[in-house]
Structure 1
């Protein structure tokens, strides 16, 4: 198994050994003694499965060692890393074509959960033989509820979201900057929500310690940059929150996909504002890449903003980016649960566009809004903008509504940031039909912040209310075993398996064997302990 994710290798090797599989990993995290032990196991043929980083596979004599063993399969994980157009390109992947030359008779499979059509074509061309078959399953994660909102007071919005919908549950909060991760983590801790920070600038030992705690402990929130997540296979992450817009829809899909890997209900929550859209538009305009690359990056940005601003079911917009159709009305996104109102913003849009033009296409949103609302201050008078025909023509609308209009015009590509990076707004060719009165503009009404209803999908509320004592007993037993073996609790059993035990109430090993997630190896290892826990539960014993 070829993978760039060293942390994930460790987790999966641990889980496989729990299942009785002879697995090992060979990567840069091993000390010399551990490395020699793995190499000796390769020579002796005592491994069923070997995980190896691509750079380790391609350096030294590992390929020679493998050529002396009967290798059954090369599995290349995170195969989207081969795409130079993707969001996680790694140049080592381009060299993996050597496997076909050195081991022409050994089958190869390339795997990824995040690849649009172009990336899939590149995976096929770079990593697989020409006649390789392609299998694409659904990208839909029906257990994840998608919510996208407007950023106003991000810390308070995040706090309310966690307290009202995910109190005591594990989650990931993504921020754009390193500094923000530490500030948000400290702020949450001060409000009795246990949180850790994670970014590339933190000491490696501390990063590893934070990652280990997140995997082992329940109810921790990891506040991180995108440096965190690749290689995290914690199944009971109940939410992924974004306080800043990710760069692409692929990145968003991959990051939100870290929630609910156990198949139980989870949420992907994102808030964004005018500055987020401005920042992404600016980055796109300043790119020095070739025209083809810039065009594709522009398309990726349009897909992301289209997903955020859609007024319909979010799943067709998300899945359509991966060439998958969805009928809509999923019933598990904010737009389906609370359909947004829209309004005819044609006149408002024309007023904004005219004001941007008449002020010289070099001022930001705040100044444009001040002119529209007839602000009487020294700067506006000095610039002569109080003499423009657009001065004061927007007094009928609140500043917040004008900001919403500008944000959506940026998202729809009718406005663009000044490519010189001076903070100004400029018109695009796409706005001409609106200015000429040839087309109408429908925009969504931004909902005012409200208290969110408690999620009917929370595990404790939906599945455990009938027997909370037994649920607590099962989790306590899992925690005891995990601490004794030095592994994360989910390595023992996922929450989904504990819920199945709670529902089926097995009374002996034969019945325990019918519980989903309890295989023969774990039955022999943990079956008696969990039967005893079920029998010892206050509600069970009282019955």
Structure 2
């Protein structure tokens, strides 16, 4: 076998992808799967999951095992990953609804001839009789090498992106038991992992769990006041001109906020499932292919987004659980450079999430699990200690304080809210006893603050012993107390009774003063942040180019302009051609010949052949 077709994983890593060494557990995973073992891989976004199945697929194809099938949930992701593999010299293809009949037939012919190394397909297509017949034919010829199931958390009802069509993937083990399978996800707690193993029948698979830590991401959670103004200040102060994602709960909110940001001079686009499919695709393509776009979106946007230079992810509404929060914030800083995860949340977020769970048609067991997941997210939001320690602890990982989150950088001032909590709970108790019904948070706060509203007068709640007992407390303080009481289970939001507040079994201990309530004084306006090491003073260059001198920055800018032209010609995001880190390494070397490009990280054999001469020409300058 020629050296360039060696099935050795390290050789493939260098020859095809242009890297000299594996990261973290990549080598152990790749060697295990290449040898024919099943695997469950949990690796954070940006950790190099794709190589964990792409290299075994190439190695097994070179060893004569045939094609690997990659299960991918999104058409856009298939397109970009196949494009990236083509750029690296790997024969890859996809079968999805974007292909014409003739194009799909051509893929099937190439598949039958053994001309494809990796074939991407959605789970709903893979389980059709026609596709299974294709797989049967490959198996009969000994040409079915591997199944890779990406975004494997979608198989679990406990996961944040449950997709019922993933359940049909049990057919892979039942119908093709001798073909190795690798399931990969960036986010799964213990319950979701157990469900993945059971649903995909991976009981005998090797389990590879990487650290969930993303040390380059700085986590901050603020108290929601005027959230639009808060978001604008955050973007303008920290991320002017940067690419980012802003998540909202509703489609209406997405469109309103995108328009507001655009009106403030921010290059913002809306994205949600209600938009015309063509417009939605245009917006996603612009986000991937242009610099400095801020996507304002519902959670319909994001799975499989590989853009490496997203500098921030903001939530203006609270997600449903920590897995969703972690998955969404993990889309920031995939390039390893500093990034921010910023969230604003308030009492209404807690009420809304609790209501959605209660109004769900799901069974009691499912609701109980979802409430537990919401409680864990509330605990993270209310935490006065290290956010990262809390976040990693949820996934069963021990950590020490990071020194980089909002609580570590600026330890919050705390106050004892126990007496205030008792007054609020007493008010809820007495009005239920007096009127036989519950009331919402706003009315409860009016009573304890001594506000004689029409509603207070109507129900004679100004005669309660607790009326005006918290006259000195601000509404923000009272909302914080109620938030924590709901978060700890000492209060319940009754969605069936117009979101009224009800006492629970957990209320008694607080009323008796047995459980203290300690809260932060305010999380709405954190003190000025200390600058990160290596943070850019200007936005002209990528973080990857921070160490370049003036001449190097000039070459870097020229290389980026050249890369943008190539990306447009190939209809691919620029980072698929070369990552910024690769361009920065080239700019630093100032190559004068092809030999000078040997060993640049991210520059494999095919890319050196395709682009080496142009890269040298660009670096030499207009007169080179």
Band of TM-score, shorter chain: over 0.9
Find the partner of 1:464 among 530, 546, 549: 546
Q: Which residue of 1 aligns with 2:349?
A: 276
Q: Distance in 1 between matches of 2:203 and 2:570?
A: 46
Find the partner of 1:345 among 384, 399, 417: 417
CA gap of 1:450–1:304, structure 2 versus 1, over 3 A, is closer
Which residues in structure 2 correspond to 1:410-489 (within 5 Å)?
410-449=486-525, 453=529, 456=532, 458-459=535-536, 461=538, 464=546, 466-467=549-550, 468-489=553-574
Q: Which residue of 2 aligns with 1:407?
A: 483
Q: Which residue of 2 aligns with 1:362?
A: 438
Following TM superposition, by how much is the alpha carbon of 1:142 offset from its aligned partner in structure 2, in angstroms? 1.4
CA gap of 1:450–1:306, structure 2 versus 1, over 3 A, is closer
Q: Which residue of 1 aligns with 2:74?
A: 5
CA contact (8 A) 2:247 2:317 kept: yes
CA contact (8 A) 1:82 1:123 kept: yes
CA gap of 1:321–1:447, structure 2 versus 1, over 3 A, is closer
Matched, 1:194 2:267: yes
Q: Distance in 2 between matches of 1:50 and 1:518?
A: 24
**Higher relative contact order, chain-length normalized (CA < 8 Å, sep 6+):** 2
Matched residue SS, 1:72: strand
Find the partner of 1:320 among 359, 382, 393: 393
CA gap of 1:123–1:403, structure 2 versus 1, over 3 A, is closer
CA-to-partner distance for each residue in 1:17-65, whole Å, 9 max, x for gaps? 0000000001122221221111111111100111111111111322222
Unaligned runs of 5+ in 1: none
Matched, 1:91 2:164: yes
Matched residue SS, 2:228: helix
Aligned-CA RMSD value: 2.2
Which residues in structure 2 correspond to 1:4-153 (within 5 Å)?
4-69=73-138, 70-153=143-226
Q: Distance in 2 between matches of 1:349 and 1:310?
A: 18
CA gap of 1:67–1:386, structure 2 versus 1, over 3 A, is same
Matched residue SS, 2:395: coil
Following TM superposition, by how much is the alpha carbon of 1:460 offset from its aligned partner in structure 2, in angstroms? 6.0
Q: Which residue of 1 aligns with 2:234?
A: 161
Q: TM-score, normalised by structure 2?
A: 0.82
Following TM superposition, by how much is the alpha carbon of 1:505 offset from its aligned partner in structure 2, in angstroms? 4.5
Following TM superposition, by how much is the alpha carbon of 1:423 offset from its aligned partner in structure 2, in angstroms? 2.8
Q: Which residue of 1 aligns with 2:407?
A: 335
Stretch deviating more after TM superposition (95-104 or 70-79):
95-104
Q: Distance in 1 between matches of 2:529 and 2:329?
A: 21
- Runs of 4+ displaced beyond 6 Å: none
CA gap of 1:450–1:119, structure 2 versus 1, over 3 A, is closer
CA gap of 1:288–1:76, structure 2 versus 1, over 3 A, is same
CA-to-partner distance for each residue in 1:214-272, whole Å, 9 max, x for gaps? 11111111111111112322121111111101111111111111111122221111111
CA-to-partner distance for each residue in 1:457-502, whole Å, 9 max, x for gaps? 6456565375354443332222222223332111111122233334
Q: TM-score, normalised by structure 1?
A: 0.94
Q: Distance in 2 between matches of 1:419 and 1:446?
A: 28
Alignment size in residue pairs: 538
Following TM superposition, by how much is the alpha carbon of 1:452 offset from its aligned partner in structure 2, in angstroms? 5.0
CA gap of 1:179–1:448, structure 2 versus 1, over 3 A, is closer
CA contact (8 A) 1:150 1:273 kept: yes
Find the partner of 2:582 among 497, 511, 515: 497
Stretch deviating more after TM superposition (508-517 or 406-415):
508-517
Matched residue SS, 1:111: strand
CA contact (8 A) 1:374 1:394 kept: yes
Q: Which residue of 1 aligns with 2:18?
A: none
CA contact (8 A) 1:170 1:221 kept: yes
Stretch deviating more after TM superposition (104-113 or 196-205):
104-113
Following TM superposition, by how much is the alpha carbon of 1:454 offset from its aligned partner in structure 2, in angstroms? 8.0
Matched residue SS, 1:145: strand
CA gap of 1:482–1:67, structure 2 versus 1, over 3 A, is same
